[in-house]
Structure 1
């Protein structure tokens, strides 16, 4: 089984997968108390964005057994009440578990994952349960969500 360590979120390391902004500690350009347009979440057509809640339970050990991607949209997420570990792998025409990386995302940091990036539900870092806001075009989870289960020899443990 492949073992990977979750690393601190940084612009340089995460840039191939998307972008992020700390919503609880905003900095950079602003209009007074309004910190604008720091994470762009492009969508196509006139589909509304749905904001959903994902309840993520802590598991030990943290084993990645599956992954998903969206072919026509990215996905936005933000942990509301605890830090999370997000795992991602580059877009490809087949699963690439050997290219998976894990990042520690502080609570209140909005992450925009690029279209086609392999990912799945994040794990809580320290809490037993966290609530994660998910932003996707309406019904993407039904219409544009390819989920694969890894073979046991391709499982990944986050250490």
Structure 2
């Protein structure tokens, strides 16, 4: 099984997959205590963005066995109460598990994945359970979610 070393979020390393912003420690332009438009997630056709809770439990090992992507939607991921690991691979028509990278996302940091980026549910790091806010255009999980199970040879373990 391949092992992936999780890396700290940085603009250069993460930019091929999307953007991120630390909502617990905002910086940059502000209107007093309001920091406008720090993360943008465009949607088409006036479809509303749905904000959904995701609860994931810690596992003995962070093993990536499958991945998903969305053809027409970006996805926002905001860990609320603990740091998480995410895995991502470049947008492509076929799965590219060999190009998977892993990132440590501190709690309170919003990550917005670009359309087509391969990913799946995050892994909690420092707690037994993580509460995560997911932002997707309404019903994306029903009409634009392509999930691929990897063969055992392509499974990978994420290490910190």
User: What is the TM-score with the length of structure 2 in the denominator?
Assistant: 0.98
Moved over 4 A (4+): none
Match of 1:101 in 2: 101
Counterpart for residue 134 of structure 1 = 134
Hey, what does 1:77 align to over in structure 2? 77
2: CA distance between counterparts of 1:110 and 1:158? 21
Q: Secondary structure at the match of 1:59?
A: coil
What is the match of residue 34 of structure 1? Answer: 34
Correspondence 1:14-29 to 2 at 5 A: 14-29=14-29
1:24 aligns to what SS in structure 2? coil
CA distance in 1, matches of 2:45, 2:20: 23
Residue segments in structure 1 that go unaligned for 5+ positions in a row:
none
Structure 1 partner of 2:115? 115
Uncovered stretches (5+) of structure 2, i.e. residues with no partner: none
Instruction: Give distance in 1, aligned partners of 2:29 and 2:102.
Output: 29
User: 1:46 and 1:39 mapped to 2: Cα distance?
Assistant: 18
Equivalents in 2 of 1:127, 1:10: separation in Å?
A: 23
Q: Structure 1-normalised TM-score?
A: 0.99
